[in-house]
Structure formats: structure tokens, C-alpha cells
Amino acid sequence: MRLRLTLGSALSLLLSGIIAASPGGLLPQWQEVFDPGSRLSLYFNLYLGGLLLGLTLARLTPVRHPWFPMAMVLAGLGLLGVASAQSFDAVLWAALPLGLGVGAINLSGNSLPGDLYPERRMIVLSQVNAAFGVGAIATPFLVSFFPWREVLTAFAVLAFLGAALVWKAPASRPPAADGGHPGNGWLWLLVLAIGLYAGLEQGFATFSGAYLTELGYPTALAGALLSAYWVAFTAGRLLMAYWVARDPLRHLTWLVCGAVGVALLYFLPPLPLLFPLAGFLIGPVFTTLMALGQGRAGNAAVAYALYAGASGSTLVPALFALLPVAGIPWGLLLVGLALLALTQRLRRLDARTAL
């Protein structure tokens, strides 16, 4: 049973990665078929509303069964709604159930492995989270080179399979007593940093393809580079985890500086073709910040991190959607600089606490 539930958690996070990467991969097709215009911002806002509601319901309900499998089914139904959409209005109707399902999936899928393997929580959670990267890697490639409606239908079938695997998932364990932390100010700065990080991650993922097509590059190339972005993202999270852990905030500062440098490349065509480098650099940021929060402020910080990630990954792209395509580099640069400033502030506060 433990193996089945572990596989189900991995499949749930695979689905989360699929849905997270879908707007970036589908945006060129949506522009061609639906011409969504400014309504794209409404999609992100509806998705955010559903995601926050799903996360809240999951946080307030320690019982995972039947809510976890129901969330998987709901996300699958949302994917079917997008796959069968004949207008962008139908896509908008699917945004809310997609967000609702993903919100509950993110909390349950991330917390269940820790309850199943308390003695190896960090190792198993890192391994299971790799599924998110796999979903994010595969999605832009698949929807660019194969009929996107059929691809989304296949993803919906995976969601229904995942619901069967997490059937009868056990309730959450009571939170353990955690150590002290350097104050609420530090925690809220951490939460804000996570929100900006999530916005930067999705900004690169969602709008780089549209920016490249605006520069005259083919849609297939943009989709392939977006898949390369998620490959680099997953590789960075796995390969740099041990290095970042040696001095987390110092090393994160260096990585965010590198991401700002990639944003500057957008002003210098054809260098925007190098945007997958940003994925490698920011890959470890979220997991490192969430681990810092959990270590300093307890298990409640995990929920706060997910709230921040959900908000940032939706609100920041919604703001980007209001920009002309030529303004995307400025948006990426400003968000990256804000994240850099927050990381430096956290580093200084952390140093004072150590004294």
C-alpha cells in the first residue's frame, strides 16, 4: 500500500507539473485558434482563485480520503474541458476546476510522502518532486509536436489513474514540535520571496515562447526550448541541491543574480534563445526556501510556501499578460531584481539571528 500511495503522490505532482507548464506550451496555439487577447489574464485569475480555494480546503481538512482522489478527478475533468473547448470562454470555464484540483493536489502530494516515510522525508520528497519537473518538461514538447487536444485528453486519463492510486490515502499526521525561528518578519519576507520566485519561474516558462515567436522564430523551436527550460530546471534542482544546502541564502543569491543576467539577455537577440539557462539557475530556489521556512517556523511554513507559490505563479503572469510582448524582458528583469533584493534581506536577517 505504501508503494502504491507513493506512486500516486508522484503521479499527482506529475499532473501538477503538466498543468503548470500547459499555458506556456499552449499559448501559441491558443493565440492562433482563440485569439484570447487580454482575456488570458482572466484565465490566470480564475485559475488562482480555484488553486487557493483548493489549497485552503486541503489545509483545513486533515483527512485526505476521499478529497485527494477527488482533486485528481477534478483536475482531469478540467483538462478534458480545455481539450474539448471550441472557444476561449470554454477554456475560462475550465480554469477554476483546474486550479481547485491542483491546489489540493499540491498540498496532499507534497505532504503524503513525508507521512509515509518520516525517517527519510527529505530524500523521498525530493525524489517524488522530480515528477513535477518531468511533467513540466514533457508538456511543451508534446503539445507543440502532437495534436494538443489529444495530448490533454491523455493527460486527463493519467489524472484518473492517479486518483485510483491515492485511494484510501491516510490522514495527515499531527504537526511535530519544531524549533524557534527568527521572527515573523523573517517568515513573511520568506513568503514574499517565494511568491516572487514562483512568478519569475512562470514568467520565463509562459512568455518566453511568445516572445521568441514575436521575434520571428518558429513555434516548434519555441516549444522545444521551453521543454529544455524545464529539463534544465529539474537538473538544477537535483544537481545543485547539496551545494546550495551548504550555505543556502548565499548560494541562492548567486543563482538569482544569474537569473537576472538571463533576463538581460532578452534585450539582445538572438541571445533570448539561451533562456533555458534560467531554469537551471532557479531550479533549487523553491525547495530551498520552503525547507528553510519549515526548519525555522515549523510545518505551517509549508502551507504558507504553497500559498505564496500559488499566488506568485498566477498573479505575476497575469500582470505579464497585460504587457505588450516587447515588454516581457522588462517584466522578467524587474521581478528578478525584486527577488534578489529580498534574498539579500533574508540573508542579512539570518546573519543577525546567528549572532
For the chain, list the domains and their CATH numbers: 1-170 (1.20.1250.20), 178-355 (1.20.1250.20)
* 240: confidence class by pLDDT, cuts 50, 70, 90: confident
The residue that leads in pLDDT, 80 or 110, is 80
Q: What is the mean pLDDT of residues 110-137?
A: 76
3-state secondary structure of 230: helix
> pLDDT for 318-343, tens place per residue?
899 888 988 999 999 999 999 999 99
- What local confidence, expressed as pLDDT, does residue 355 receive? 47
Give whole-number Cα distances, 264 to 103, 261, 273, 284, in Å: 33, 5, 12, 21
CA angle (92 as vertex; 86, 93 as ends), nearest 5: 85
Q: With contact defined as beta carbons under 8 Å apart, do 44 and 228 qualify?
A: no
> pLDDT for 139-195, tens place per residue?
888 988 899 999 999 999 999 999 999 998 988 765 555 444 556 688 899 999 999
- The share of the chain scoring above pLDDT 70, in percent, equals 91
Q: What is the mean pLDDT of residues 119-125?
A: 66
Considering only CA atoms, which of 208, 202, 226, 184 is closest in space to residue 311? Answer: 202
Question: What average pLDDT does the chain have?
Answer: 86
Q: With contact defined as beta carbons under 8 Å apart, do 186 and 296 qualify?
A: yes
Q: With contact defined as beta carbons under 8 Å apart, do 169 and 8 qualify?
A: yes
How far, in Å, CA of 187 to CA of 290, rounded?
10
Tell me which range, 100-109, 182-191, 303-312, is most confidently predicted by mean pLDDT. Answer: 100-109
> pLDDT for 190-218, tens place per residue?
999 999 999 999 999 889 988 999 899 99
What H or E segment, with its residue span, contains residue 247? none
- What local confidence, expressed as pLDDT, does residue 298 receive? 57
pLDDT over threshold 90, residue 118: no
pLDDT over threshold 50, residue 98: yes
Contacts of 207 (CB under 8 A, 6+ apart): 24, 27, 317, 320, 325, 328, 331, 332
How far, in Å, CA of 349 to CA of 192, rounded?
15
The residue that leads in pLDDT, 37 or 281, is 281
Residue 65 is given by DSSP the state T
pLDDT over threshold 60, residue 349: yes
Considering only CA atoms, which of 273, 230, 219, 247 is closest in space to residue 347? Answer: 247
**Locus of grid cell 521568441:** 212
